[in-house]
Amino acid sequence: METFAPARDLVADPGFARARRRALAALDPVEIDAPIRDVVAAFAALPHVFTLQCCCGHFLVDPGQDPHDCAPLPPCVSGPVTYRIAYLALCLENGPRGRALLASLARLPAIDPDYVQFGSPTWFWDRRPNSYALQVEPAAHMTQDEAVLSPAEALRTQAVRDRIFAELRALLADAGGP
């Protein structure tokens, strides 16, 4: 699945409010990775955005490990790590608050441009205009939803992922979200 494409400009979307109501009605917090439930809930509280999909990012080090395991990497990881991408896909309203949020989200890759991307994956945009995804993935793998990383690369990815979600929490606190 394509996971990255450059960000597009917001367009008119008269169906935004209806799509947002449907998305919020279908939102099941139990299906969201526990470490980021608060982030998704905070976005849900804002009237100019809704979450399309998300994943906290999973680091798999053992052959039989549950692919949904949210445990952090052990600090002494020694072998290859299968990484399942951390991302947050959002749909924004084309209005002043949506444009402001878009500008804030678009600045987040500056935290670590080699590991953070922000754009409009075609797969999301074709289903819902004004869709954007913030993802944490080493640049060499930015178009893949899974990659095998070296231990050092996996540890850096985890650190960047944690910082991105912390930055999202700060952004949401400033926006009046929980």
Q: How large a percentage of the chain has pLDDT more than 70? A: 97
Q: 0.85 exceeded by the pTM?
A: yes
Task: Quick: pLDDT tens for 2-57.
Answer: 668 899 999 999 999 999 999 999 999 999 999 999 999 999 999 999 999 999 99
Crossing angle between the packed helical segments 151-174 and 37-44, to the nearest 10 degrees: 30
Phi/psi at 148 (5° precision): -100, 125
Q: Taking the domains of the chain in order of start, what are their residue ranges?
A: 16-174
**DSSP code at position 73:** P
The answer to whether 59 and 154 are in contact (CB under 8 A) is: yes
Instruction: Give me 10's structure tokens.
Output: 């917001």
**CATH T-level topology, domain 16-174:** SSo0622-like fold (3.30.1960)
d(CA 144, CA 113): 17
